[in-house]
């Protein structure tokens, strides 16, 4: 039950889209393990024609797959399926958990995929005549330190199989601390508690070992929060080391009863958010709730525009989300732009039936020079397939080598892009163009549907080999090579090029570097033997008949056993390095805070915002200025409220701009937190009915000046005064009473509201510690609170 659009900015030249040599996939989660699902598959494909070695394990150490894959020989294995009415893992732990038992606990169910050359990895779930799902891994581009999640739109239901989730996997050695926070008011995740009104989750912090996973979410039938489940959108996930994140709904639907489906995808971090997106509508009418793009803001003050309009559809702050239902153009596409980077998600329909929604993460356009997707395996496995393509205007598009055969549709608001829709495609597809493309596959089969992304993203900003070069720009992303040396100019750095001086080879192969592995006269006319093996290619080298990696006359030794021959190893005695890197041979180029500066050169190795020194606040605290008042946070007495002068009238270290109301009640000034001069806040007792002060000084000291004038000043007016009066207040005119017995003992005045009406009361102690004596002028004597300052 569901269909999703997959925009695939694919592989071309240096652009690798979602191809990578390593993928990390946290587990899927569903409301239950029976009615929500059936068979879960892992599919591996590659554009490489030669076999690629692939190893797939889970965090428990179980082997899922260990073999090869090539362009002509894709691999699909069953991770798990229904057995006896419940999901049962077939390989390892099955990459799936369910119900409340699968939430809020450390798990070993995530997958780790390592390949000798870039591969695609895709998770598919199929429950015939019920629901389907497709999720495509994004390799290193899925890793980051901050994420904003989204889930498929869902109206809360009492069905036990409905729910939404977010799952994370720690990818680096040691302990990774993960924090879930910035929850919308009223969101209380299943199995957790909230606080405040409405009850809301505070930050949830977990510590994970490498490859451990953790899942949180909402199981509809057990949800105790007051916010709609859609308010999971925009929730933030942060970590101190790179993590992988997936999110979605499994299951979700447009109404509390009726049709629903699964929809989830792996996310990219906020660093890869974009400002331009083109989406292709599914098969339901425009305005159908299943045809809903979802925008999630990553920064405050983000304006979002649709289809080239000059008027913003909305202005969002970080974590806000926006549903764009009913805004597709007549060409069944939509242009979304923004003033600051946003993340884009899409619910898309296989048809008008409520049982056919799907969900996917959408990459921004134009950020990856991807011109080919090769290949998408068995596109109609999950149902009748439609191919959608976003392409540059005027650039031809081919499918399996032939013209796409359908008319390009203009995109309102831009002349740069067009879209194509080709229905009823089958088999395994390769899609190409002469310029950047994005490819979409969406499926439907009665009450099911799904799709997966093979998408292009901006180059990743992570540096997992710690050589100071972001992996997206690194010609050896898995091997430290700060020099980026590439002697033969073949795009593979010398540090990871098995033949650094042979542009035709990156591996010595049979004949060695500099000699092609060919049979000039292959069978049947030749002998079918690779030519280099038939003669001694190193006649003057008694130790070699082939040049190997280092060439004739140079032994192919590997003294440190790191897989790189000594002749190409810049650190021949260091098994952890092939170049000195930032810290030199014999010292690891560790980068604890992932700021692209190795710890050995980083003045603050645990703070990514500081590399050259501790700054004003020291290494542990960023020199930030959130309130933009020119004072850094560690020196700001109101870090969240602008107060450039740092005023602090009561000297308590908390600035006036953020101090408690009434803190400066007796300074003779109308402070920001007061309703008048020395009135309001802690002095509300002076104005019991809440009216504002009428006269400057009304609430100053509680004593009158000499002569009975009610401009209130200090206690020094008491000696020698014939009459002392309670001050004129907001609610009662001056009421004078006799002098107090003594002026050096406690005296206070109050305004009381008794059965006889309003009046002033004066109380004193005849001696210190004695019971108070009181006089009343007007009304009935009822002891009230003391005046301000008394």
Over residues 753-759, mean pLDDT: 48
Residue 623 clears pLDDT 90, i.e. is over it: no
| Residues 642 and 656: beta-carbon distance below 8 Å | no
Torsion 458-462-464-467 (CA) sign:
positive
Q: Higher model confidence: residue 722 or residue 59? A: 59
pLDDT band at 451 (very low <50, low <70, confident <90, very high): low
pLDDT, mean of residues 690-702: 36
Tell me what the mean pLDDT of segment 438-464 comes to. Answer: 68
- The whole-number pLDDT of residue 703 equals 35
Residue of higher predicted confidence among 469 and 298: 298
Residue range 152-163: average pLDDT? 81
Q: What is the pLDDT of residue 456?
A: 62
pLDDT single digits (tens) 491-545: 889 888 889 998 988 888 888 888 887 765 555 555 566 667 767 788 788 888 8
pLDDT (0 to 100) of residue 67: 97
pLDDT of residue 715: 34
pLDDT at 733: 35
Listed residue (775, 776, 772) closest to 753, CA to CA: 776
Q: What is the pLDDT of residue 305?
A: 98
Q: What are the structural domain ranges in the chain?
A: 11-444, 681-777
Tens of pLDDT, residue by residue over 415-430, are 999 999 999 999 999 9
Q: How far is it, in rounded angstroms, from Cα 582 to Cα 598?
A: 6
Whole-number average pLDDT of the chain: 79
Given a cut of 50, whether residue 69 has pLDDT beyond it is yes
Q: Please check the confidence at residue 479 and state whether its pLDDT lies above 90.
A: no
At 766, the pLDDT band (50, 70, 90 cuts) reads: low
What is the rounded average pLDDT of the residues 750-772? 54
Q: Rounded to an integer, what distance in angstroms lies between the CA atom of residue 535 and that of residue 574?
A: 36
Q: What pLDDT does residue 178 have?
A: 98
* Higher-pLDDT residue of 297, 526: 297
For every residue of 224-246, DSSP letters joined together read: --SS-GGGGTT-EEEEEEEEEEE
CA distances from 173 to 55, 109, 597 (A): 19, 17, 18
According to the model, what pLDDT value does residue 314 have? 97
Residue 392's nearest CA partner among 431, 436, 336, 362 is 436
Q: Does 787 or 740 have the greater pLDDT score?
A: 740
Q: What is the mean pLDDT of residues 364-377?
A: 76
Average pLDDT over residues 638-654: 83
* pLDDT for the residue 770: 61
The 8-class DSSP code of residue 732 comes to S
pLDDT of residue 541: 81
Burial of 246 per CB tally in 10 Å (0-12, 13-18, 19+) = buried
Backbone angles phi, psi at 494, to 5 degrees: -55, -30
Question: CA triplet 723, 691, 655: central angle to 5 degrees?
Answer: 95
- 786 forms bridges with which residues in the sheet? none
Low-confidence winner among 50-64, 311-325, 632-646 (lowest mean pLDDT):
632-646
**pLDDT reading at 431 higher than 60:** yes
Specify which of 39-48, 133-142, 374-383, 601-610 reaches the highest per-range mean pLDDT.
Answer: 39-48
Helix (H, G, I), strand (E, B) or coil at 601: helix
- Over pLDDT 70: what percentage of the chain? 74
How many residues are there in the chain? Answer: 790
Token duo for residue 72: 């002509």
Whole-number Cα distances in Å, 206 to 93, 223, 292, 317, 450: 22, 21, 33, 26, 32
Higher-confidence position of 473 and 279: 279
Q: What is the pLDDT of residue 780?
A: 43
pLDDT computed for residue 96 by the predictor: 93
pLDDT digits (tens, 9 = 90+) for 299-320: 999 999 999 999 999 999 999 9
- Mean pLDDT value across residues 55-69: 96
Q: Is the model's pLDDT at 768 over the cut of 70?
A: no
Among 328, 251, 308, 256, smallest CA distance to 5 is for 328
Q: Which has more pLDDT, 534 or 172?
A: 172
**By mean pLDDT, which of 361-375, 379-393, 444-458, 472-486 is the weakest?**
444-458
pLDDT for 533: 73
621, 615 in Cβ contact below 8 A? Answer: no
Give the closest residue to 788 by CA, choosing from 707, 705, 708, 729.
Answer: 729
DSSP for 322-366, please give it.
EE-TT---TTSEEEEEEEEEEEEEEEEESSSSTT-EEEEEEPPSS
pLDDT at 681 over 80: no
pLDDT score recorded for residue 676:
57
Mean pLDDT value of segment 30-53: 90
Residue 468 CA to residue 488 CA, distance in Å, equals 22
pLDDT in tens, 540-580: 888 888 888 898 899 999 998 988 899 999 999 999 888 88
pTM attached to this predicted model? 0.71
């Amino acid at each position: 039950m569901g269909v999703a659009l997959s925009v695939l900015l694919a592989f071309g030249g240096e652009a690798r889209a979602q191809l990578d040599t390593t993928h990390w996939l946290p587990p899927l989660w569903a409301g239950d393990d029976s009615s929500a699902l059936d068979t879960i598959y892992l599919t591996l494909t590659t554009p490489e024609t030669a076999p690629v070695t692939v190893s797939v394990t889970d965090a428990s150490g179980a082997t899922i797959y260990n073999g090869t894959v090539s362009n002509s020989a894709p691999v699909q294995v069953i991770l798990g399926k229904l057995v006896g009415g419940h999901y049962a893992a077939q390989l390892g732990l099955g990459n799936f958990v369910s119900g409340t038992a699968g939430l809020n606990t450390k798990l070993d169910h995530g997958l780790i995929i390592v390949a000798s050359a870039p591969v695609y990895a895709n998770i598919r779930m199929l429950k015939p005549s019920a629901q389907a799902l497709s999720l495509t891994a994004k390799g290193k581009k899925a890793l980051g330190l901050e994420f904003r999640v989204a889930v498929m739109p869902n109206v809360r239901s009492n069905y036990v199989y409905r729910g939404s989730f977010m799952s994370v996997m720690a990818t680096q050695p040691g302990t990774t601390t993960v924090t879930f926070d910035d929850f919308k008011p009223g969101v209380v995740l299943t199995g957790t508690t909230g606080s405040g009104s409405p009850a809301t989750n505070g930050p949830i912090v977990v510590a994970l070992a490498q490859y451990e996973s953790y899942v949180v979410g909402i199981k509809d039938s057990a949800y105790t929060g007051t916010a709609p489940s859609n308010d999971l959108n925009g929730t933030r996930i942060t970590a101190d080391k790179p993590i992988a994140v997936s999110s979605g709904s499994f299951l979700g639907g447009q109404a509390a009863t009726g049709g629903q489906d699964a929809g989830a995808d792996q996310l990219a971090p906020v660093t890869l958010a974009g400002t331009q997106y083109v989406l292709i509508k599914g098969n339901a009418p425009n305005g159908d709730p299943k045809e809903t793009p979802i925008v999630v803001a990553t920064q405050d003050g983000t304006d979002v525009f649709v289809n080239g309009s000059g008027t913003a559809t909305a202005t969002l702050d970080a974590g806000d989300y926006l549903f764009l239902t009913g805004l597709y153009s007549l060409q069944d596409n939509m242009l979304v732009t923004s003033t600051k980077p946003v993340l884009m998600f899409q619910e898309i329909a296989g048809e008008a039936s409520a049982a056919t929604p799907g969900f996917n993460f959408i990459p921004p356009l134009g950020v990856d020079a991807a011109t080919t997707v090769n290949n998408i395996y068995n596109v109609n496995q999950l149902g009748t397939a439609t191919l959608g393509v976003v392409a540059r205007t005027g650039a031809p598009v081919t499918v399996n080598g032939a013209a796409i055969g359908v008319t390009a549709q203009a995109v309102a608001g831009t002349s740069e892009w067009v879209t194509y829709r080709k229905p009823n495609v089958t088999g395994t597809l390769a899609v190409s163009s002469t310029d950047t493309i994005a490819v979409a596959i969406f499926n439907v089969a009665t009450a099911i549907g799904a799709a997966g992304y093979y998408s292009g993203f901006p180059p990743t900003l992570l540096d997992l080999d710690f050589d100071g070069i972001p992996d997206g720009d690194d010609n050896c992303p898995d091997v430290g090579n700060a020099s980026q040396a590439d002697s033969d100019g073949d795009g593979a750095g010398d540090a990871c090029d098995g033949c650094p001086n042979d542009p035709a080879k990156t591996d010595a192969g049979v004949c060695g570097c500099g000699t092609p592995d060919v049979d000039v006269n292959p069978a049947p006319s030749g002998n079918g033997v690779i030519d280099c093996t038939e003669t001694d290619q190193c006649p003057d080298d008694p130790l070699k008949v082939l040049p190997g990696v280092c060439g004739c006359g140079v032994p192919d030794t590997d003294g440190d056993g790191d897989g790189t021959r000594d002749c190409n190893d810049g650190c021949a005695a260091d098994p952890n390095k092939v170049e000195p890197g930032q810290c030199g041979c014999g010292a690891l180029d560790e980068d604890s805070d992932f700021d692209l500066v190795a710890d050995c050169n980083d003045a603050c190795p645990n703070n990514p915002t500081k590399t050259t020194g501790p700054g004003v606040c020291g290494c542990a605290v960023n020199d930030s200025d959130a309130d933009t008042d020119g004072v850094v946070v560690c020196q700001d007495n109101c870090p969240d409220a602008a107060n450039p002068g740092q005023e602090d009238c009561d000297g308590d270290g908390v600035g006036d701009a953020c101090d408690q109301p009434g803190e400066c009640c007796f300074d003779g000034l109308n402070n920001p937190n007061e309703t008048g001069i020395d009135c309001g806040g802690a002095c509300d007792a002076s104005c019991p009915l809440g009216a504002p002060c009428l006269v400057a000084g009304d609430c100053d000291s509680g004593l009158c000046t000499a002569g009975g004038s009610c401009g209130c000043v200090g206690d020094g007016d008491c000696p020698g005064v014939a009459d002392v009066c309670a001050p004129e207040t907001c609610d009662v005119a001056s009421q004078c009473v006799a002098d107090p017995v003594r002026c050096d003992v406690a005296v206070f005045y109050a305004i009381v509201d008794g059965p006889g009406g309003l009046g002033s009361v004066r109380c004193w102690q005849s001696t210190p510690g004695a019971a108070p004596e009181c006089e009343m002028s007007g009304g009935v004597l009822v002891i009230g609170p003391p005046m301000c300052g008394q």
